[in-house]
């Protein structure tokens, strides 16, 4: 999954050119495999409740603005950048403070060992809470690096910053999380 952008032009999905000519099917083909990770990012940026709205709005903007995509970075980094910028609009997709348990999906089946799962879940919940308290660029950078496995060049493109600054953001995020999690890790 980790794809450091090569010097020069990064490789783009084959259907991208057709999508740029206005073929909706080609755009679907390009974007559909990315939807899972984009939704995860959108939820990270806007919270569980508004994440899907943010993604839908971001996809619409990507489709409308596809002609403006300069292939200096990957397509997914470009869309991630749209989501990141969109999430910063005043009061639109900011995470709501009350992210209650009910916002999570209700599990389909009961786990075989709920108590064991519960402690792991609690630890993960603590990490999630600590992540939410990070500044948006650090949160996004760590999410893309540690969860999605992106390279720093792509993270930098999404955050509209340099690769060095993206790396610094990831390091700072890790340091803060370590401090907040303490001996739980």
Helix residue spans in the chain (DSSP H): 16-20, 24-31, 35-64, 75-87, 114-132, 136-142, 152-159, 163-181
Choose one: 53-61, 77-85, 132-140, 153-161; the region binding another protein (CB under 8 A). 53-61
Which residue is it, tokens 């907040």? 180
Which residue, 9 or 135, has its beta carbon nearer to another protein?
A: 135
Interface residue with another protein, options 67, 70, 108, 113 (CB under 8 A): 108
d(CA 32, CA 26): 10
Asked if 141 contacts 131 with a C-beta cutoff of 8 angstroms, the reply is no
Interface residue with another protein, options 10, 27, 153, 156 (CB under 8 A): 27
Residue 63 Cβ vs another protein, minimum distance, rounded to whole Å: 7
Binding flag, residue 69, another protein (CB under 8 A) = no
CA atoms within 13 A on the CB side of 135: 10
125 to 71, 99, 184: CA distances (angstroms): 37, 12, 12
d(CA 121, CA 84): 27
Residue 17 Cβ vs another protein, minimum distance, rounded to whole Å: 16
Interface residue with another protein, options 70, 110, 113, 119 (CB under 8 A): 110
Residues that bind another protein (CB under 8 A): 22, 24-25, 27-28, 31-32, 35-37, 39-40, 43, 49, 52-53, 55-57, 59-60, 63-64, 89-92, 96, 100, 102-103, 105-111, 114-115, 118, 123-124, 127, 142, 146-147, 149, 168, 170-172, 174-175, 177-179, 181, 185
């Amino acid at each position: 999954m980790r794809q450091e952008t090569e010097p020069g032009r990064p490789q783009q999905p084959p259907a991208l050119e057709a999508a740029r000519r206005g073929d909706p099917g080609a755009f679907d083909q390009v974007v559909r495999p990315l939807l899972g990770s984009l939704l995860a990012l959108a939820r990270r940026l806007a919270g569980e409740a508004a994440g899907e709205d943010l993604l839908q709005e971001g996809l619409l903007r990507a489709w409308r603005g596809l002609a403006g995509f300069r292939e200096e970075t990957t397509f997914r980094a470009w869309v991630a950048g749209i989501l990141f910028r969109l999430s910063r609009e005043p009061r639109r997709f900011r995470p709501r403070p009350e992210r209650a348990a009910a916002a999570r999906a209700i599990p389909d089946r009961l786990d075989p060992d709920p108590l064991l799962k519960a402690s792991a879940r609690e630890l993960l919940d603590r990490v999630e809470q600590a992540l939410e308290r990070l500044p948006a660029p650090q949160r996004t950078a760590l999410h893309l690096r540690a969860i999605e496995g992106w390279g720093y060049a792509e993270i930098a493109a999404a955050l509209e910053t340099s690769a060095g600054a993206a790396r610094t953001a990831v390091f700072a995020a890790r340091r803060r999380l370590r401090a907040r999690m303490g001996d739980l890790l």
